Amino acid sequence: MSMFSDERSVVIFSQEALEHLASIDLIDLCNEAKVECCRATRDLRSCGRCVQHVLSSCGHASLCAECSQRCDVCPICRVPIPKNGNRLQLRLYYECIEAGLISKRYDDRIQEKEEGEKEITADVLRLYSLFDVALENNLVSLICHYVTDVCMDESAVSSNSVIAFLLDEVVVKDWCKRTFGNIVTEVQGIYGLEVEEMNSKLSSLLKFSVQLAGVSNVLEVLESSFKGTLSAQLNDLHHLQESVLKTKQHMDIMMWCVRHQFLENVRSRYSNLKSWHSTVHERKVAVIKRSWPNSFNKSSESSRHEESTLFIEDALSNLEMEQGYAMEMKEEACVASLHKDASFFRFNIAGVARCYPFENLRAAADVLFLHGRSDMVVAKQAIFLYYLFDRHWTLPDENWRFIIDDFAAIFGITRHSLLESFTFYLLDDNNDEALQGHATSDVFLLLFSSSHVHPNVSSGKSLED
């Protein structure tokens, strides 16, 4: 019974702390985060203990719990302290610690850093902790409003150097960077596990995906404050936003792959990767023959190899062109660290366009969703579908069709978009078997008779043109 009572108390404390956080005047969030030392005099010296409460009479965090019992007035405003009743109220930061929303061990580490770490003060780390609580409890709008209502408010100023620094949007941007880095570190550990172990961590991945969406929302608000300027801050925010979005998109794909056990239990129509490579090479040769029917010979094959490419190579090349110098950014390097070693090595050696066919489903997820711009996610999904069609086409529908249907349902892909990806695969496949059969005829009839067909299909352009 006592254990049940303790758990209920923690839930109540947690709810009260979250209600306090959600209802606080955002300008006061800085005051709640600021480290305050007791101002009472003891033996001709200042007490100096860390203040965990505010005085109920005036709201100042000026006295420690012990000194508040012997002092008659607030050292700051001289307002009398009542002798009876509730003299103190727990400060928000310590209220969150008591409720278990912030680790007591983490607070102890902050106190250690206060003496030895000059770059990040304890005040900033405490504000970060309050932001963390908001992010983890679906209160990310609080952080967004902190940016718009406090950081961007020109009237929100303070003569106190610590408070003035906490009012700067740079603090929020640095929190976004720090949070993103922490999430990537956690996810790296999960991505290194075996499939069954990863499956047990799906709830954690979902939590991180939601948190990345929250960080992205905050960055979007921050970016809006710099719009119309050529500030280096805006450029920094843009690259950070790109990294956050790509990590989330990759994580969403990874969760889908984990749920399907990376297709380990779904047979491929290719006996091994070597035979798949050989088939793709034959398709390239067929493309060259179609492009240069009267002058084809083996010696000219290599010289025309670059001129006559498959649709899949064109689409992958477009992803590669969008890499630019972004990989030099620290956050992009952080994203690249999520690559599985083998796929990253092959990507560095061959480039995106030469990575097809992908070694496996994990390699496909890494190469496609950890590279290229985040706003190209639809094109990346189309290429991913192309890979799935190529892996399974000619096998009985009941063996693999559910995979395509589930992918479309999870990522909101329309039937016409599915058919477009399928058509681009068929146009690349030089095998007569790919163009035969009643099912294929139905596909073409439905696709080309539709008013929603993408113009690129009928014009024969690539996925990204």
Residues 275 and 385 in one domain: yes
pLDDT tens digits, 348-404:
555 676 789 999 999 999 999 998 899 999 999 999 999 999 999 888 888 999 999
Window from 10-14, 68-72, 150-154, 280-284 with minimum mean pLDDT: 10-14
141 lies in some domain = no
Domain boundary among 231, 259, 287: 259
pLDDT of residue 435: 61
145 lies in some domain = no
Q: Decide which of 282 and 328 is more confident.
A: 282
pLDDT tens digits, 185-218:
999 999 999 999 999 999 999 999 999 999 999 9
Residues 273 and 323 in one domain: yes
Q: How far is CA 304 from the centre of its chain?
A: 41
Enclosing H/E stretch for 180: helix 169-191
- Of 413, 312, 296, nearest to 358 (Cα)? 312
Tell me the chain's radius of gyration from C-alpha atoms.
29
159 lies in some domain = no
Window from 12-26, 155-169, 262-276 with minimum mean pLDDT: 155-169
127 lies in some domain = no
139 lies in some domain = no
3-state secondary structure of 73: strand
Range(s) of the domain holding residue 321: 267-459
Number of domains in the chain: 3
162 lies in some domain = no
pLDDT of residue 46: 83
- Rounded CA gap, 361 and 60, in Å? 58
Respond yes or no on whether the N-terminal peptide bond of residue 293 is cis (omega within 30° of 0): no
pLDDT of residue 1: 43
Residues 89 and 178 in one domain: no
pLDDT of residue 459: 42
Q: How far is residue 304 from each of residues 52, 179, 369, 428, measured CA to CA in Å?
A: 74, 48, 30, 17
pTM greater than 0.75: yes
Window from 84-88, 258-262, 286-290, 412-416 with minimum mean pLDDT: 286-290
Per-residue b/e over 89-115, b at no fewer than 16 CB within 10 Å?
Answer: ebbbbbbbbbbebbeeeebeebeeebe
Backbone angles phi, psi at 87, to 5 degrees: -80, -25
How would residue 289 be classed by pLDDT, with cut points 50, 70 and 90?
confident
Q: What is the mean pLDDT of the chain?
A: 84
- Rounded CA gap, 388 and 400, in Å? 9
How would residue 464 be classed by pLDDT, with cut points 50, 70 and 90?
very low
How would residue 321 be classed by pLDDT, with cut points 50, 70 and 90?
low
